[in-house]
Protein backbone atom coordinates (compact mmCIF):
# COMPACT_ATOMS: atom_id res chain seq x y z
CA UNK A 1 0.00 0.00 0.00
CA UNK A 2 1.32 3.42 -0.97
CA UNK A 3 1.58 6.18 1.60
CA UNK A 4 0.01 9.52 0.72
CA UNK A 5 3.35 11.17 -0.23
CA UNK A 6 4.34 8.20 -2.40
CA UNK A 7 0.92 8.28 -4.04
CA UNK A 8 1.16 12.02 -4.73
CA UNK A 9 4.67 11.59 -6.18
CA UNK A 10 3.44 8.77 -8.41
CA UNK A 11 0.59 10.93 -9.67
CA UNK A 12 2.90 13.89 -10.35
CA UNK A 13 5.24 11.67 -12.38
CA UNK A 14 2.44 10.28 -14.54
CA UNK A 15 -0.20 13.00 -14.81
CA UNK A 16 0.81 16.29 -16.43
CA UNK A 17 -2.41 17.98 -15.30
CA UNK A 18 -1.60 17.24 -11.63
CA UNK A 19 1.95 18.44 -12.30
CA UNK A 20 0.56 21.79 -13.53
CA UNK A 21 -1.43 22.22 -10.32
CA UNK A 22 1.73 21.56 -8.27
CA UNK A 23 3.66 24.08 -10.40
CA UNK A 24 0.90 26.67 -10.00
CA UNK A 25 0.91 26.25 -6.21
CA UNK A 26 4.72 26.49 -6.12
CA UNK A 27 5.04 29.73 -8.07
CA UNK A 28 1.86 31.27 -6.64
CA UNK A 29 1.95 30.40 -2.94
CA UNK A 30 -1.29 31.26 -1.20
CA UNK A 31 -3.22 31.69 -4.47
CA UNK A 32 -6.09 29.35 -5.13
CA UNK A 33 -6.05 27.10 -8.18
CA UNK A 34 -9.44 26.90 -9.86
CA UNK A 35 -9.85 23.74 -11.93
CA UNK A 36 -11.23 24.28 -15.40
CA UNK A 37 -11.92 22.12 -18.41
CA UNK A 38 -9.66 24.10 -20.74
CA UNK A 39 -6.55 23.24 -18.68
CA UNK A 40 -7.32 19.52 -19.10
CA UNK A 41 -7.74 20.09 -22.84
CA UNK A 42 -4.42 21.98 -23.05
CA UNK A 43 -2.65 19.16 -21.18
CA UNK A 44 -4.13 16.56 -23.53
CA UNK A 45 -2.85 18.48 -26.55
CA UNK A 46 0.60 19.05 -25.02
CA UNK A 47 0.81 15.33 -24.24
CA UNK A 48 0.01 14.65 -27.92
CA UNK A 49 2.84 16.98 -28.98
CA UNK A 50 5.20 15.29 -26.53
CA UNK A 51 4.32 11.84 -27.89
CA UNK A 52 4.77 13.00 -31.50
CA UNK A 53 1.11 12.62 -32.46
CA UNK A 54 0.91 16.38 -33.16
CA UNK A 55 3.76 18.32 -34.79
CA UNK A 56 2.35 21.85 -34.60
CA UNK A 57 -0.06 23.24 -32.07
CA UNK A 58 -1.60 26.68 -31.72
CA UNK A 59 -3.43 27.58 -28.51
CA UNK A 60 -5.45 30.79 -28.76
CA UNK A 61 -6.59 32.15 -25.42
CA UNK A 62 -7.08 35.81 -24.50
CA UNK A 63 -4.09 37.41 -22.76
CA UNK A 64 -3.83 37.40 -18.97
CA UNK A 65 -6.31 34.61 -18.59
CA UNK A 66 -6.66 31.01 -17.72
CA UNK A 67 -3.08 29.90 -16.89
CA UNK A 68 -2.00 29.24 -20.47
CA UNK A 69 1.52 30.62 -19.91
CA UNK A 70 2.05 28.62 -16.72
CA UNK A 71 0.92 25.46 -18.52
CA UNK A 72 2.87 25.93 -21.74
CA UNK A 73 5.92 28.08 -20.92
CA UNK A 74 6.67 27.07 -17.34
CA UNK A 75 5.23 23.65 -16.43
CA UNK A 76 5.58 21.94 -19.80
CA UNK A 77 9.32 22.65 -20.26
CA UNK A 78 9.93 21.46 -16.68
CA UNK A 79 7.98 18.28 -17.45
CA UNK A 80 9.69 17.74 -20.82
CA UNK A 81 13.10 17.93 -19.14
CA UNK A 82 12.00 15.11 -16.83
CA UNK A 83 10.99 12.88 -19.71
CA UNK A 84 14.16 13.76 -21.62
CA UNK A 85 16.87 15.85 -19.87
CA UNK A 86 18.58 16.34 -23.27
CA UNK A 87 15.51 18.13 -24.73
CA UNK A 88 16.31 21.57 -26.21
CA UNK A 89 13.42 23.97 -25.65
CA UNK A 90 13.15 27.53 -26.98
CA UNK A 91 10.45 29.85 -25.66
CA UNK A 92 9.79 33.19 -27.38
CA UNK A 93 7.58 36.09 -26.31
CA UNK A 94 7.07 39.68 -27.48
CA UNK A 95 8.44 40.96 -24.16
CA UNK A 96 11.89 40.44 -22.67
CA UNK A 97 10.42 40.88 -19.18
CA UNK A 98 7.76 38.22 -19.80
CA UNK A 99 10.24 35.88 -21.44
CA UNK A 100 12.66 36.13 -18.49
CA UNK A 101 9.84 35.81 -15.93
CA UNK A 102 8.72 32.50 -17.43
CA UNK A 103 12.32 31.30 -17.57
CA UNK A 104 12.92 32.18 -13.91
CA UNK A 105 9.62 30.54 -12.90
CA UNK A 106 10.68 27.36 -14.70
CA UNK A 107 14.11 27.45 -13.03
CA UNK A 108 12.39 27.96 -9.68
CA UNK A 109 10.41 24.76 -10.28
CA UNK A 110 13.51 22.77 -11.30
CA UNK A 111 15.28 23.96 -8.14
CA UNK A 112 12.32 23.32 -5.83
CA UNK A 113 12.65 20.64 -3.17
CA UNK A 114 9.70 18.62 -4.44
CA UNK A 115 10.98 18.61 -8.04
CA UNK A 116 14.54 17.59 -7.15
CA UNK A 117 13.21 14.85 -4.88
CA UNK A 118 10.74 13.62 -7.46
CA UNK A 119 13.06 13.80 -10.48
CA UNK A 120 16.64 13.38 -9.24
CA UNK A 121 18.00 12.64 -12.73
CA UNK A 122 17.04 16.10 -14.07
CA UNK A 123 19.76 18.35 -12.66
CA UNK A 124 20.55 21.93 -13.62
CA UNK A 125 24.13 22.59 -14.65
CA UNK A 126 25.34 25.20 -12.16
CA UNK A 127 27.99 26.83 -14.42
CA UNK A 128 25.40 27.32 -17.20
CA UNK A 129 22.54 28.80 -15.24
CA UNK A 130 21.41 32.20 -16.57
CA UNK A 131 18.15 34.13 -16.51
CA UNK A 132 17.46 33.54 -20.18
CA UNK A 133 19.00 30.09 -20.54
CA UNK A 134 19.62 27.17 -18.27
CA UNK A 135 21.08 23.78 -19.06
CA UNK A 136 20.69 20.37 -17.52
CA UNK A 137 23.73 18.22 -16.79
CA UNK A 138 22.56 16.12 -19.77
CA UNK A 139 22.97 19.23 -21.99
CA UNK A 140 19.26 19.86 -22.50
CA UNK A 141 18.08 23.43 -22.05
CA UNK A 142 15.32 25.99 -21.89
CA UNK A 143 16.21 29.17 -23.77
CA UNK A 144 14.14 32.37 -23.49
CA UNK A 145 14.18 34.79 -26.39
CA UNK A 146 12.08 37.45 -28.09
CA UNK A 147 9.82 36.97 -31.08
CA UNK A 148 12.09 37.99 -33.94
CA UNK A 149 15.02 38.11 -31.52
CA UNK A 150 18.37 36.45 -31.88
CA UNK A 151 18.47 32.71 -31.44
CA UNK A 152 21.30 32.16 -33.89
CA UNK A 153 23.08 28.89 -33.25
CA UNK A 154 20.65 27.75 -30.56
CA UNK A 155 18.31 25.40 -32.38
CA UNK A 156 15.73 23.43 -30.50
CA UNK A 157 13.59 20.33 -30.41
CA UNK A 158 10.57 22.28 -29.17
CA UNK A 159 9.71 25.89 -30.06
CA UNK A 160 7.10 27.60 -27.89
CA UNK A 161 5.80 31.02 -28.90
CA UNK A 162 3.87 32.44 -25.96
CA UNK A 163 2.22 35.84 -26.14
CA UNK A 164 3.83 36.72 -29.49
CA UNK A 165 2.10 40.11 -29.71
CA UNK A 166 1.92 43.09 -27.43
CA UNK A 167 -1.85 43.54 -27.02
CA UNK A 168 -1.53 47.20 -28.02
CA UNK A 169 0.09 46.24 -31.35
CA UNK A 170 -2.16 43.34 -32.31
CA UNK A 171 -3.66 45.20 -35.28
CA UNK A 172 -0.27 45.88 -36.88
CA UNK A 173 0.11 43.80 -40.04
CA UNK A 174 3.91 44.20 -39.94
CA UNK A 175 4.16 42.83 -36.39
CA UNK A 176 1.75 39.94 -37.06
CA UNK A 177 3.75 39.02 -40.16
CA UNK A 178 6.95 38.79 -38.07
CA UNK A 179 5.29 36.07 -35.97
CA UNK A 180 3.94 34.23 -39.03
CA UNK A 181 7.51 33.90 -40.36
CA UNK A 182 8.51 32.09 -37.15
CA UNK A 183 5.75 29.56 -37.43
Q: What CATH number does residue 144 fall under?
A: 3.40.50.300
The pLDDT of 159-169, averaged and rounded, is 76
Higher pLDDT, 28 or 176: 28
Total number of domains in the chain? 1
Encode pLDDT of 112-132 as tens digits: 999 999 999 898 998 778 888
For 11, the domain range is 4-182
Indicate yes or no: pTM above 0.85: yes
3-state helix, strand, coil in the chain (%, to 5): 50, 15, 35
End-to-end Cα spacing for the chain: 48
Amino acid sequence: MLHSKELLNSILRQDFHSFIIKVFNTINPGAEYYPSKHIRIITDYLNAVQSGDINRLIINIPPRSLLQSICVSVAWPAYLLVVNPTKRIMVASYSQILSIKHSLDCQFILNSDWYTELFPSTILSKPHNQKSKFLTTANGFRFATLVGGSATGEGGDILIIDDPHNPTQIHSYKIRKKVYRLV
